[in-house]
Amino acid sequence: MAIARRDFLLASAALGVGVLGGRAASAALPTNADVVVIGAGAAGIAAARRLAAANVRVAVLEATDRVGGRCQTDTSTFGIPFDRGARWLYSQDTNPVAKLARSVGMEIYGAPPSQKIRIGRRNARSGEVEDYLASLVRANRAIQDPTRKSDTSALSALPNDLGAWQGTLSFVLGPAAISKDLSDVSAFDLARQDPRDAGAFCRQGLGTLVAKLAETVPVSLSTPATRISWQGKTLEIETPAGRLTPRAIIVTASTSVLGSGSIKFVPDLPKRQLDAIAKLTLGSYDHIALELSNNPLGLQRDDVVIEQSDTNRTALLLANIGGSSICLVDVAGSFGRDLSDHGNDAMIAFAIEWLTKLYGSDIKASLKRRAVTRWNATPHVGGAMSVAAIGNQGSRRILTEPLGALFFAGEATHETLAGTVGGAWDSGERTAEAVLRRLGLIKEPEPEAAPRRRRGSKGGVRS
């Protein structure tokens, strides 16, 4: 029996910040930019577009040879668009990325309204699904308990009587949703995240979409920022191609990059910001893509499947993506990280073993081409989604605090849409607005005048 996709994702934030972008023409290093944006992912492109719309001279510096960041669309491996990173767009009616996609000729289509649970080699029966959904509702309510006085791990916030669904819910709400085990996740941070709807896909790929949206702004590819001087009257950015002296800087690099020291800040960032970065580390989420001819799993286009499991050695299946024969086995959290560390062959072997366990022994005979992602080892990224450590939900807000003319943006700075493409885009636009105010191009609203007292009155005001 299939379960409603909305119910399945009610408290989940399944992988949102995307991965293979588009390869675009690289702009020459500008010398007269008023604002420089570091990073050409969703947040960086959103910020640059907003600034350009306000007639600000803006430049985007991208360390890699492509646009997109954690949104990357591979069209060569299988001959069809395959999102190696983020793939979901939530709330497509209000999501700014979905709206822009249609304006540039991209096709957005809704994900199927239901998904399946496997128990051994069969689909869950209606009574079992109802039991699972009831347990999911209880788990969500426990995590979002408004009476909780202090933060704890999201795992310890779960009810202790979930029975056979304990492991499944720990996977669905943890690794499959936010790329980390619930034992490592702040319950407060998870409770703050907006619920996701069924979600939608971009037929051409999210990486392709972000690259398309980047065409209106100048992006210098293969141009990493190596040193940022951010105090004093003159800002300075050093790159292998030269130096820039903008009036403001927006950094959208991942928290893994910021924490690695690959960008040298002079002077060092304040301890408050350094601590926030250290408490918003990236989780692990990878795709194992298998081309399975003749649909041996008997699934429909874009079907999503999980299993009833009492171990973290499990995965999430997205079958027949876009109506193709490509199936994605997603591994995440601590198990996914360990598996990725063992390399491509180990990842493919697990995917075959897992599908065989659930569907039978015909998988190997149908297997054609295959591919894996390993985001933890990807330069200039270093993981999947940012996750707040226990007791550190406020770190997201801290990262939004400007340091003079130095600003940070990205999914890690969004308190309610962390880990999503929409959240990254919104953070970029929001930060661009803050920069425009800093430059005096947007006026702050006039404060309301205090009511005048009548002379000699006690608290009365003029009518």
How much is the mean pLDDT over the chain? 90
Report yes or no: 385 and 285 within 8 Å, Cβ to Cβ. Answer: yes
Q: Measured between alpha carbons, how far is 234 from 217 in angstroms, rounded to an integer? A: 24
Q: Measured between alpha carbons, how far is 177 from 304 in angstroms, rounded to an integer? A: 13
293: CATH: 3.90.660.10
Distances (CA, A) of 49 to 40, 57, 58, 95: 11, 11, 9, 16
* 52 lies in the same domain as 185: yes
CA 319 to chain centre: 21
Domain count, the chain: 2
Report yes or no: 251 and 407 within 8 Å, Cβ to Cβ. Answer: yes
* 254 lies in the same domain as 123: yes
Q: Measured between alpha carbons, how far is 35 from 44 in angstroms, rounded to an integer? A: 12
Sort residue 88 into left (φ over 0), alpha (ψ -120 to 50) or beta: beta
**pLDDT (mean) for 241-258:** 97
Q: What is the pLDDT of residue 462?
A: 27
* 235 lies in the same domain as 292: no
Q: Residue 216 domain-assigned? A: yes
Comparing CA positions, the residue from 140, 70, 152 lying closest to residue 393 is 152
Q: Residue 444 domain-assigned? A: no
* 28 lies in the same domain as 64: yes
* 289 lies in the same domain as 310: yes
Query: Using CB atoms within 10 A of its CB, is residue 462 exposed (0-12), middle (13-18) or buried (19+)?
Result: exposed
Choose the weakest-confidence range: 92-106, 335-349, 369-383. Answer: 92-106
Q: Residue 450 domain-assigned? A: no
Q: Is 241 helix (H, G, I), strand (E, B) or coil?
A: coil
| Percent of the chain whose predicted confidence (pLDDT) is above 90 | 83
Q: What is the pLDDT of residue 11?
A: 37
HSE, CB side, 13 Å, CA atoms: give it for residue 83. 30
Query: 266 is in which domain, residue-wise?
Result: 1-284+388-439
* 368 lies in the same domain as 351: yes
* 49 lies in the same domain as 189: yes
20: CATH: 3.50.50.60
* 256 lies in the same domain as 127: yes
